[in-house]
Amino acid sequence: MRGAAVTSHWWESIIPEDTNPRDIDTSVPSVARIYDYWLGGKDNFAVDRKAAEQAIAAYPGIVRAVRIQRRFLARAVRHLASERNVRQFLDIGTGIPTASNTHEVAQSVAPESRVVYVDNDPMVLAHARALLTGVTGPTAYVDADLRDTAKILAEAGRLLDFSQPVAVLLIGILHFVPDTDDPYRIVQTLMAATAPGSYLVISHPASDIRAEQVASMAERLNRLQETKGTLRSYTEVARFFDGLELIPPGLVQAHQWRPGSAAADSGEQTPGYCGVARKP
């Protein structure tokens, strides 16, 4: 595989040297920092906590939903690494590192697994520097916006071999791409660059589950943060998988995707859809 001689510090060439924590704007809520707060992290500021609490007031289940989404990510990565022998992961919109990060899960199954993270938040970048310093497996970070597919593919291609299967992870990120920016084209472009046998993993908030509460929550967040969110229906999320083969159980709520030995389903809905699909 290309780049087999990569060292544990190869990632340094990807992260811009002129980006540092001073670039962080603490006057405006950050999507990454709001999610960090919901996940129980400490890498957030008062402005983020205020926005996060306003969202909770509109829909108290958001904390549960975000944490379930995080557990879905870990289950999907473990399934792909252990059951489908995937050894390359492109995680776009990774957010601030927390427990069970993609490289930790994948490399616990297969230490040779290659992982590239992509995000454009300065705080995520600062944490990436610290996180990757101690990583021994082949792991890298690309500072890029999801819309810049050309940059993502070019930079990720320095570690990943796109002639071999790659799992493209888009967890809680596509709703930040408005319809005017054609998120479907973005996904198609990314998957067109991958080899047959690659996988697409998506988690996306729903517009048709607990619709009133979730819409109110989204409206509050959109008033406060620069990055606006777009909720989508089951049919709209399913469209991201056009041309791909959804693996069982298909497109479902996050807590319903291969829960394994997790606690029994309480019957409470999770306002988002997730799925994993294979490129034929």
> Which pLDDT tens digit goes with each residue over 47-94?
999 999 999 999 998 999 999 999 999 999 999 999 999 999 999 998
Strands annotated E in the chain: 88-92, 114-119, 139-143, 167-171, 199-205, 245-246, 252-253, 272-278
- pLDDT tens for 145-160 read 999 999 999 999 999 9
How many domains is the chain built from? 1
The residue to which tokens 């940059």 are assigned: 151
Q: Does residue 4 belong to any structural domain of this protein?
A: no
Tell me the pTM: 0.87
Q: Does residue 8 belong to any structural domain of this protein?
A: no
Q: What DSSP designation does 39 have?
A: T
The residue to which tokens 């294979």 are assigned: 278
User: Is 85 in a helix, a strand, or coil?
Assistant: coil
Take residue 27 and report the two structure tokens written for it: 């006057």
- pLDDT tens for 22-52 read 467 777 888 888 988 898 888 888 999 999 9
Residues contacting 75, CB < 8 A, separation 6+: 257, 258, 259, 260
* CATH code of the domain containing 222: 3.40.50.150
CA neighbours within 13 Å on the CB side: how many for 276? Answer: 25
With beta carbons less than 8 A apart as the criterion, state whether 62 and 92 touch. no
Q: Does residue 167 belong to any structural domain of this protein?
A: yes
Q: Does residue 16 belong to any structural domain of this protein?
A: no
With beta carbons less than 8 A apart as the criterion, state whether 51 and 29 touch. yes
Q: Parallel, antiparallel, or unpaired for β 167-171 and 139-143? A: unpaired
Q: Does residue 42 belong to any structural domain of this protein?
A: yes
Q: Domain range spanning residue 183?
A: 26-260+268-278
Q: Does residue 222 belong to any structural domain of this protein?
A: yes
Q: Parallel, antiparallel, or unpaired for β 114-119 and 252-253? A: unpaired
CB atoms within 10 A of CB 104: 17
Q: Which residue, 23, 38, 159, is CA-closest to 88?
A: 159
Indicate if the pLDDT at residue 103 is higher than 90. yes
pLDDT: which is higher, 249 or 40: 249
Q: Does residue 20 belong to any structural domain of this protein?
A: no
pLDDT at 10: 36
Q: Does residue 240 belong to any structural domain of this protein?
A: yes
